[in-house]
Amino acid sequence: MNMPWTLDPDRLFDPNPGRRSVARRLYSEVEGLPILGPHGHVPPALLADPDATLGTPAELFIIPDHYVFRMLYSQGVPMEELGVPTVDGTPGEEDHRRVWQRFCENFHLFRATPTGLWLSDELINLFGTTEKPTGENAQRIYDHLQERLASPEYTPRSLFAAFDVEVLCTTDAATDTLEHHAALRAEGWGGKVLPTFRPDAVTDLSTAGWRHNIDLLSRTSGIDVVDYRSFLEALQERRSFFEEMGALATDHSATTPHTERLSGSEVEGIFSRALSGRADIEDAARFTAHLLLEMATMSAEDGLVMQLHAGSLRNHNTAVRRRFGLDVGADIPIAADWTRGLRTLLEERGNDPRFRLIVFGLDESAYSRELAPLAGHYPALLLGAPWWFFDSPLGMRRYLDAVMETAGLYNTAGFNDDTRAFASIPSRHDVWRRTTCDWLAGMVVTGVVDEEDAGDMAREFAYGLAKRAYGLQ
């Protein structure tokens, strides 16, 4: 008889008895703290509609989650067979039971990965699954999950309360009308679910459909974008609207963290070429570098925290992009020069007490070499949590080892889950809390900090740092 599937209550804690006992005590102090989600990608419509559900098990765990289907794809499972929608008309699997069957048959692929840890936590602790997924039990588990997902306790709103989410920030295009946020505010959710201003679709000239996005910007802002000056005015108007709707931050993605101040004639020329469809790759890169400075200036003026995610070469697999579109698991890290790249921005705004910049990178070698020293000097700069490929137990440990001695705890911004997978939010926060508590326990048993300070630091990691970094007090 198979034993019930469970999780080790001491998972992620060091086996050394002395260190483990300290980690347990620290974790007991933070395990029940509310969840702050200052950056993520949960669609606000999921919470704005009181009748919304999380869908089928396949829709919840597999189809929208590139962490899941990229692993299966890497082992030869076609994405069409996983229900991932195509953009080229290729037919895909529509039977969600068959999608789930393929997932369970390949569940072993997630062993020793953070995705496996999150999935196991969700299935066991959130949904009460007692069997590890296999091809043989796939349909039994599917039936069990379907029953749970159909119950009132598993609606998005019910889970939001059960997760004890204090604040959840979404990520919204600059042209978004924020109708779902308005609906939530009207129902009394003001301060609980907040928008974040994401202008990449209009600031990155290489974005597919950029000219159409500019037309949308004109309509939503009420400002006819005909030149660079009117473009900035439209962005400023949209930022003001987002701030009125409760936004705390902006979010910007760039391949590299390069910033460059262009002359008026240069930037006007690039924007004019873009409007007429003549801008090239170099124009797009220089325009992004310049716009990051403009966004920093606006943040200093309106108080929105500026987030910068850099170091990913997006859509590396051209065949996958053509069939499935953008952002389907083929984004790959690159080396990034943060010291030279951010210099212009930090020369302009790094000492400005009105400005705050939180940076996220995918070049681990830059953590200790560049990012920690920069954050340990410039008052405006904070280090974001280990991001994406490093949002993992070992990635977190390497991050903590690399940055804490040089940057210091209070020059970091705590944790955010950065997820589209709503049901995984508590699992992701739990991994961070367990990992930071174990890391702090190591500091205690080696005499670097005492347990009183470690307790304070554990609460900061879990809650306090993010609350201050994003102005959530």
Q: What's the predicted TM-score (pTM) here?
A: 0.97
Which domains, ranges and CATH numbers included, belong to the chain? Answer: 17-53+152-469 (3.20.20.140), 54-151 (1.10.2020.10)
> Residue 473: its pLDDT value, please?
75
Residue numbers in the chain where pLDDT is lower than 70: 1-2
% of the chain at pLDDT higher than 90: 98
Per-residue pLDDT of 153-204, as tens digits, reads 999 999 999 999 999 999 999 999 999 999 999 999 989 999 999 999 999 9
d(CA 423, CA 79): 22
> Residue 326: its pLDDT value, please?
87
Per-residue pLDDT of 150-159, as tens digits, reads 999 999 999 9
> Residue 316: its pLDDT value, please?
94
> Residue 348: its pLDDT value, please?
98
